[in-house]
Structure 1
Amino acid sequence: MKTVLVTGAGGYIGSVLVPKLLSKGYKVKALDRFFFGKDKLEENSHLTLIQEDSRRLREEVFANVDFVIDLVAISNDPSGELLEEATWQTNHVSRVRTATLAKNAGVKRYILPSSCSIYGFQDQQVDETASTNPLTVYAKANEKAEKGVFALSDDDFCVTVMRQSTVFGYSPRMRLDLAINGMVYGAWKTKKLPLMRDGSQYRPMVHVQDTTDVMCLLLEADTSKINKQLFNIGSAENNYQLGPLAEKIANTVSELMGEKVDIEWYGDPDHRSYSVSFDKVENALGWKAAWNAEKGTKEIVEKLESGELEKTTQTITLEWYKDLIKWHKIIKNAEMYGGILDI
């Protein structure tokens, strides 16, 4: 059995990827701080949980590891702006260090899931050869990480970068701060779909099941096709202008719930806009996305209706980080002799 080290394994994408890898016959070392709890990953005889910070990894973590999927990240733009130093350390420095340690330990493949947000603002559709235009700390750190890990690639160490579209869909570590997910929740809960002005911006989307399928394919693909290669991950169908996308979601929720859903505008205009070509990944791997916004909307509504999914502070990444920071200070100030009341 091959062993995959997954960093950020307890996160939104990781908690979908890890069970998928186990079902395909891999052993998995799941490394995470587990800010959102260890309960997102079910016990398995081939699963080893490692609670550690990616900035403090030791060489022994890579023992007997064949592949690394380096999902770890301080995710999203608001978190990146508030936690700027931690974002640079985690999303750039720790990933390059992880790749370096992996290479030194004899790991064969390293996969970096990056982000199409690196494209920033573009006047025309872009492919992997296009110039980048990162506008946020999150995007800039991803770009630095890409360059750092690509520099390590050689015949014995296969490095592949995935520039993921904005991810959506259900996950055990659910995020309702992602575009489609948040729209669906608002439409279902209040019959008002929240949409950032002005709706003309383009954004590519990819379902969490689709992007994790690509990660699995990259573990098996011929190295000659993927070594030192960059792939945009998504599909032409899921290149959405946000205004029309909101209408699709509103109409889908309306049909499912039998109630009219209105669009509710908020915020200043979002200046990030990019439409992306996905021909390269489709041709190289023979992969096609299986999900679109309507299918993903139905999935989330079903989870909400069943009670399996509900909105909590944990589903809004930045709010949960803020809570952890607040309670860390409170507990640190109140603790004496190893406890609070019981000492």
Structure 2
Amino acid sequence: MKVFLTGHLGYVGTVLLEKLLAENFEVVGCDIGYYPQSFEDTEIVPQNFLKKDIRDITKEDLYGCNAICHLAGLSNDPIGEINPKLTNEINYLSTIRLAKLSKEIGIERFIFSSSCSAYGLNEDIVTEQSQLAPQTAYAKSKVNSEQELVKLRDINFAPVMLRNATVYGISPNLRLDLVVNNLIGSALSTGKIKLNSDGTAWRPLLHVEDMADAFVRCLKASKNEVNGKFFNVGSNQGNHKVIEIAEKIAQKIPNSEIEIANKDNKDNRSYKVNFDKIYEELGFKTKWNLDDGIKQIYDAMKDKCLSLEYFSDKSFHRLKYLKWLLEKGTINQDLRFKN
């Protein structure tokens, strides 16, 4: 099977690319190349690499592919809120355009990287049938994409919507703006596990390798198993309060302590998620738990002699890096590279 992988140079994409090649998939990688692979020296490359904005993909780019794994987009809530209109263009309109192009040329499977943030603020344990309540431009772009993708479903074209939990873990293109990674980096570089809220919000967590494995599982499944379906990706044991995450980190990292910046500040993104469906229908089960993930991150980071300067470097923070590219004049306000 030949797979067109968008965002193959990103935090998840670099991990998924390695797994696809290990499973003997032929891969065409497509990435605009915003962010450097800044953590590990080894670089795995697809058989074909298209350096291109997802807004500009053509049918010719897709010919010969059997499936799309669509990861590319503006990747988190803070970036999405800078320019909601641009977030809508890149994350939603470009996704639907890509899916329609794929369907027109006979690509059979379109696996979309959505998010559990679609559930927003919810006191119940949510399932794929629960009401959606996206709180941010990023989450809204994911929900809008899901709703339009499922309309494209037919016997020949199978969209699959993966609502991924909050990702963590080591990647060649490391991010330190994700909650687990960020708290560990803070502990190592300052001795403080710094919380910006009261820590009572719930987060479902998902190791980056498990997220990549879910995409591989959806590629290997029969079309009928996945066509038009929504799957929460994670594990029931992976639901944690932010304060619990911090406590586990404090237990594992010497000379670290929790610091709550504002005890009156509550995070309005709080949700617990049920992940039974993907296990019952696809047999997918995560391999990582939070304790093992913290150990992996800690072991990898401590070997880098992590300093505050290193931890704060723009290469590990998506919003900070995009702002730097804008200030430098490398990209325009629409986030396209200047010629």
- TM over 0.5, shorter chain: yes
Counterpart-to-counterpart distance in 2, 1:18 and 1:238: 24
Structure 1 residue 266, shift from structure 2 partner: 2.8
What letter is aligned with 1:61? D
Give the total of aligned pairs: 326
1:266 to 246, 261, 264: 261
Provide runs of 4+ in structure 1 moved above 6 Å: 38-41
* 2:235 counterpart of 1:208: no
Counterpart residue identity of residue 327, structure 1: K
Q: Which residue of 1 aligns with 2:291?
A: 294
Q: Distance in 2 between matches of 1:285 and 1:83?
A: 37
CA contact (8 A) 1:249 1:293 kept: no
1:235 touches 1:288 (CA, 8 Å); kept in 2? Answer: yes
- After TM superposition, the structure 1 = structure 2 runs for residues 291-330 of structure 1, keeping only pairs within 5 Å, are 291-307=288-304, 310-311=310-311, 312-328=313-329
Looking at structure 2, the residues matched to 94 and 308 of structure 1 have their Cα atoms a distance apart, in angstroms, of: 40
Deviations 1:263-284 (A, max 9, x none): 1123532111100000000111
Shift of 1:306: 2.0
Cα displacement (A) at 1:329: 6.6
Whole-Å Cα distance in 2 between the matches of residues 329 and 7 of structure 1? 21
- How big is each residue's C-alpha offset from its partner over 1:116-155, in whole Å with a ceiling of 9 and x where there is no partner? 0010011210100000000100000110011111111111
- Mapped contact 2:37–2:174 kept (Cα < 8 A): no
Partner residue in 2 for 1:32: 31
For 1:303, the aligned partner's letter is A
Q: For residues 227-250 of structure 1, give each alpha carbon's deviation from its aligned partner in whole angstroms, at most 9, with x where no partner exists.
A: 100000011111001112210111
**Counterpart mapping for 1:42-81 below 5 A:** 42=43, 44=45, 47-81=47-81
SS of residue matched to 2:279:
helix
**Cα distance in 2 between the residues matched to 1:118 and 1:329:** 32
Does the alignment pair 1:229 with 2:229?
A: yes
Instruction: Kindly state the Cα deviation for residue 25 of structure 1 after the two structures are TM-superposed.
Output: 0.4
TM-score scaled by structure 1? 0.91
Cα distance, 1:43 vs structure 2: 5.1
Higher alpha-carbon deviation: 213-222 or 265-274: 265-274
Write the letter of the residue equivalent to 2:150.
Answer: F
1:68-100 deviation line (CA, Å, top 9, x unaligned):
011011011110001322211111000011110
Identical-residue share of aligned pairs (%): 34
- Distance in 2 between residues matched to 1:22 and 1:56, nearest whole Å: 26
Q: Separation in 2 of the partners of 1:182 and 1:77?
A: 15
Q: 1:159 corresponds to which residue?
A: 159
Give the whole-Å Cα distance in 1 for the aligned partners of 2:88 and 2:71. Answer: 15
Cα deviation 1:32-80 (Å, max 9, x = unaligned): 1011147888355x52110111111111011100110110110111100
Structure 2 match to 1:14:
13
1:112 counterpart = 2:109: no
The corresponding residue for 2:147 is 147
Which piece of structure 1 moves more, 266-275 or 244-253? Answer: 266-275
* Contact 2:14-2:44 at 8 Å conserved across structures: no
> What CA RMSD, in Å, does the superposition of the two structures yield over aligned residues?
2.0
Cα distance, 1:111–1:330 mapped onto 2, change above 3 Å: closer
Q: CA deviation at 1:6?
A: 0.7
Looking at both structures, which has the greater relative contact order when contacts are Cα pairs under 8 Å and sequence separation is at least 6?
2
Cα pair distance change 1:221/1:18, threshold 3 Å: same
SS in 2 for 1:91: helix
Q: CA distance change for structure 1 residues 103 and 307 in 2, over 3 Å: closer, same or farther? A: same
Letter in 2 for 1:31: C
Between the aligned partners of 2:148 and 2:305, the Cα distance in structure 1 is 40
Question: Which amino acid is 2:292 matched to?
Answer: K
Q: Aligned equivalents of 1:171 and 1:297: distance in 2?
A: 14
In 1, Cα distance between equivalents of 2:116 and 2:55: 24
Unaligned runs of 5+ in 1: 332-337, 339-343
Bigger CA radius of gyration: 1
What does the per-residue CA deviation read over 1:172-194, in whole Å, with 9 as the maximum and x for residues that have no partner?
11100000000111111211101
Q: Structure 1 residues 101, 192: CA separation in 2 closer, same or farther (over 3 Å shift)?
A: same
Provide the rounded CA distance (Å) in 2 between the counterparts of 1:38 and 1:250: 28
- 1:78-157 aligned at under 5 Å gives the runs 78-157=78-157
Instruction: Note closer, same or farther for the CA distance 1:34–1:263 as it changes in structure 2 (3 Å cut).
Output: same
Partners of 2:37 and 2:90 in 1: CA distance = 20
